[in-house]
Amino acid sequence: MPPDAGRAAEKVARQSYGKLIAFLAARSRDVPAAEDALSEALASALRVWPERGIPGNPEAWLLVAARRNLMQAARHRTVEANAQTTISVAFEEAEERMNAAGSAVFPDERLKLLFACTHPAIDSSVHTALMLQTVPGIEAKIIARSFVVSPEAMSQRLVRAKVKIRDAGIPFAVPPRPALPGRLAAVLSAIYAAYGLGWDGLDGENERHSLAGEAIWLGRALLAVLPDEPEAVGLLSLMLHCEARRSARRGGDGRYVPLDEQDTTAWNAIMIAEADALLRKAGSFDRFGPFQCQAAIQSVHAARRLSGTTDWQALTTLYAALVMMKPTLGARVSQAAVIGRASSAAAGLEQLDKLDPRDIASYQPYWAVRAFLLTQVGDHTAAADAYMTAIGLSDSPAVRDFLAGRLKDARQAI
């Protein structure tokens, strides 16, 4: 096969997968059937295109082929005639929209899919996985690896969720205005969680890195259709800020490098500029929210590239706002770390002591921050003990080695 035909098929599959699934499942809501039909269509594209050339509109070609497969499958299942009609009508509508070339209707279809995947009727623990599989079409195997579950368990969960979409009649639609903010929050969380999976998987796993890329792509797709949602703008800004620092997070020898020791010249200046421009744009709507707040926090860190210093006071203010809006454990632990820098280590420890012991027992960042602050106040014995717990809770060899170095220093200071 000429490589370009294969490449063309892959490109269409990557860019249009979610959109095509949305079209194909628009009426029936039967995502699994749509997926089968589309993967068959892709297989025939790989057979036919190298011989007959790449069609002028590969997307439309795939849609027509997948539609044919669906109709055949429906005939096989001897679906009642009225369902057949429904499917046909849905397709004709879909094709009409497809052929209204260049209209912004495409991302809109993908967006409907995002809202279906993160519907409150779907267990929120599957939102991210379902979204990653349905919209950019990532293999369940890769998703399972990122979530640390067996591929079989992940597949079962995804199948269950898809059956529920079909059987519970979950709408493929952007929710009406009054319901939008609440529903959008679920979409944003799912995208950010996908980014987080890619962010964590840094120890030589390219697959996970691509999850971070997919999340950013989803963030952009969302913005294309909801340009006036400041939290969606804030989320993209936040992800770009984090992504800009990716290569600085490990030394040449694979060593873990904490944020305040990173070489700022290794940060991606173009991404930072885009992230800051987005943050300003979000601010112009005058509707502040947690994602904008987290993007602003990252923007303060990014400013060190030019000023050479970190404005801990500004970070204290931003974390206070974040904890007021969304008092997650992560936000509260980071807040304590920042207070430890802005005012005193003792004040930071005081913040940590306010947390519920049950919540932090196996929360690694808490123990790492606690150990650091205990070192600052000179309690090296307690610091060493906290470092031990932090090491035991780490799942990354690079982080473990970094903390072991700090543990050694603490022990020597006792």
Partner 1 sequence: MQYALIIREAAEDFARRSDPAYRDGWVAYSQALAQAGIMTGGAGLTGPETGTIVRRKGEDHDVQDGPYPDGKEQLGGFYLIDVPDMDTALEWAIRVPISDKGSVEVRPRLQM
Residues at the interface with partner 1 (CB under 8 A) = 148-149, 153, 361-362, 388-395, 397, 400, 404, 407
Residue 368 CA to residue 12 CA, distance in Å, equals 45
Residue type, 29: R
Terminal Cα-to-Cα distance of the chain (whole angstroms)? 67
CB of 362 to partner 1, least distance (A): 4
Decide whether 172 or 402 has the Cβ nearer to partner 1.
402
Residue 103 CA to residue 324 CA, distance in Å, equals 41
Which 3 state secondary structure label does DSSP give 124?
helix
Residue type, 360: I
**Which residue in this structure is represented by tokens 């709408």?**
171
Decide whether 65 or 126 has the Cβ nearer to partner 1.
126
E-assigned strand segments in 154-268:
none
Decide whether 373 or 391 has the Cβ nearer to partner 1.
391
User: Six-digit token pair at 363?
Assistant: 């929360």
With 0-12 / 13-18 / 19 or more C-beta atoms within 10 angstroms meaning exposed / middle / buried, residue 70 is buried
Residue type, 95: E
Decide whether 40 or 385 has the Cβ nearer to partner 1.
385
Residue 335 CA to residue 341 CA, distance in Å, equals 10
Residue 195 CA to residue 215 CA, distance in Å, equals 5
Decide whether 320 or 404 has the Cβ nearer to partner 1.
404
CB of 219 to partner 1, least distance (A): 26
Decide whether 106 or 387 has the Cβ nearer to partner 1.
387
CB of 364 to partner 1, least distance (A): 9
CB 66 within 8 A of CB 21: no
Mention every residue, 6+ apart, whose C-beta is less than 8 A from residue 165: 29, 31, 116, 117, 119, 122
CB of 159 to partner 1, least distance (A): 17
Decide whether 203 or 274 has the Cβ nearer to partner 1.
203
Decide whether 294 or 394 has the Cβ nearer to partner 1.
394
Give the rounded distance of the alpha carbon of 241 from its chain centre: 14
CB of 360 to partner 1, least distance (A): 9
CB of 253 to partner 1, least distance (A): 16
CB of 401 to partner 1, least distance (A): 8
CB of 388 to partner 1, least distance (A): 4
